[in-house]
Amino acid sequence: MANTKLRFAVIGCGRMGLRRMQTIVDHPQAELICVVDVSEQQARVAANKYGCPYYLNYGEILSREDIDCVIVSVPNKWHKEIVVSFLNSKKHVFCEKPLARNPEEAKAMVDAAVQNGVTLKTGSNLRFFPSVLKAKELLDRGAIGELLFLRSWIGHGGWVQGRWFTQPEIAGGGTFLDNGCHVLDITRWFLGEIKSCVGVIKTSLWPIEPLEDNGFGIFETVDGKIAFVHASWTEWAGYMYMEIYGSEGYIRIDNRGKACKTILGKREGGEKVFDFSSLPPTSYWDELDDYIRALREGRQPLPSGFDGLRAVQMAWGVYESARTGRKIQI
């Protein structure tokens, strides 16, 4: 694997699949072997664009030995079936977020990766935003002292209306599982492991019940830190904002509108701003590059399948808390 290009198949030729294909063909250490989609029209368009064969059934490529990695970019309902099939075929798998519709499906996928000795990565390009990476760097070097709490929101104006995202059987959850899983993952990455939560969900505007267009969760880590997370499909300005407070200062990640900034503030006053807003967006390419380097170095790609499982468990903890009115152990 060290001296040759990594060979990819992409399952799903929709919006995200095409985005992943582009990063593969742009990367000097990657090769797109084939694409798969149940829609022949979509599969043919993608194959013609990227100069590779297409298939209508992923089962036709399960046993191919010229495929190292498979990217699964299909609606949530089919994640478990497809991912487990390729893991059982000893292929590394990169699956879009959320990893699954529910914790049980996600755990089956993680278990299959472990049993087969291959890696499972959860797709989450938010980890590769320069603003998020800078915040992680600052946290790792103790720039704000002992961490105390985190608050954040993520959202958009509901462009998913009329698409599979609002169909409960296909999606598994509303905004808190869909875009919320991005900040749930970042919350664990920054603060540490989560032990419990309380939550509220609300269908505020869009006619998508029983799914929610707004969700609110308060999480507690194993060592007592608190995180507030809000996910929304009525966030007209978008996209993400986060604050992390410590004993000696704070960090703000500002990705509202077209901004891409990290602000380091000190307890006694004064701020330092790291402004990445003028840079071209490269998070999807950076995510693939990190994935390739992880496989070459024999390390677990991040976010891992386990990270994806925990994000799903956190979302479902909020759903269960909203249903029962109780604090939920995660």
Query: CA 5 to CA 297: how far, in whole Å?
Result: 14
Does residue 30 have a pLDDT over 80?
A: yes
- Contact status, residue 138 vs residue 264, Cβ threshold 8 Å: yes
For residues 18-28, give the mean pLDDT.
Answer: 98
Domain boundaries, the chain: 6-124, 126-284+312-329
Does residue 3 have a pLDDT over 80?
A: no
Least confident among 2-16, 90-104, 236-250, 290-304: 2-16
Within a 10 A sphere around the Cβ of 45, how many other Cβ atoms? 16
Model confidence pLDDT, tens digit, residues 129-148: 999 999 999 999 999 999 99
- Contact status, residue 158 vs residue 165, Cβ threshold 8 Å: no
For residues 250-278, give the mean pLDDT.
Answer: 97
Query: CA 235 to CA 179: how far, in whole Å?
Result: 12
Does residue 325 have a pLDDT over 90?
A: yes
Query: CA 304 to CA 158: how far, in whole Å?
Result: 28
Query: CA 107 to CA 104: how far, in whole Å?
Result: 5
Does residue 125 have a pLDDT over 80?
A: yes
Query: CA 12 to CA 57: how far, in whole Å?
Result: 10
User: Considering only the top CATH level, what class is 126-284+312-329?
Assistant: alpha beta
| Partner residues linked to 274 by β-bridges | 262
Does residue 1 have a pLDDT over 60?
A: no
Cα of first residue to Cα of last residue in the chain, in angstroms, is 38
Q: Which pLDDT does position 192 carry in this prediction?
A: 97
Q: What share of the chain is helix, strand, coil (3-state, %, to 5)?
A: 40, 30, 35
- CATH architecture assigned to 6-124: 3-Layer(aba) Sandwich (3.40)
Listed in sequence order, the residues at least 6 apart from 123 whose beta carbon sits closer than 8 Å to its beta carbon are: 16, 20, 71, 73, 94, 95, 96, 97, 287
- Contact status, residue 218 vs residue 231, Cβ threshold 8 Å: no
Does residue 267 have a pLDDT over 80?
A: yes
Q: Letter for the amino acid at 264?
A: L
Query: CA 275 to CA 258: how far, in whole Å?
Result: 11
Rg (CA), the chain: 20
| Nearest residue to 161 (alpha-carbon basis) of 207, 209, 210 | 207
Model confidence pLDDT, tens digit, residues 212-238: 999 999 999 999 999 999 999 999 999
Query: CA 95 to CA 109: how far, in whole Å?
Result: 10
Model confidence pLDDT, tens digit, residues 108-121: 999 999 999 999 99
**Structure tokens, 143:** 């720039």
Determine the 3-state secondary structure of 263 from DSSP: strand
Q: Which pLDDT does position 4 carry in this prediction?
A: 86
Determine the 3-state secondary structure of 100 from DSSP: coil
Model confidence pLDDT, tens digit, residues 40-53: 999 999 999 999 99
pTM: 0.95
Does residue 14 have a pLDDT over 70?
A: yes
Query: CA 81 to CA 105: how far, in whole Å?
Result: 9
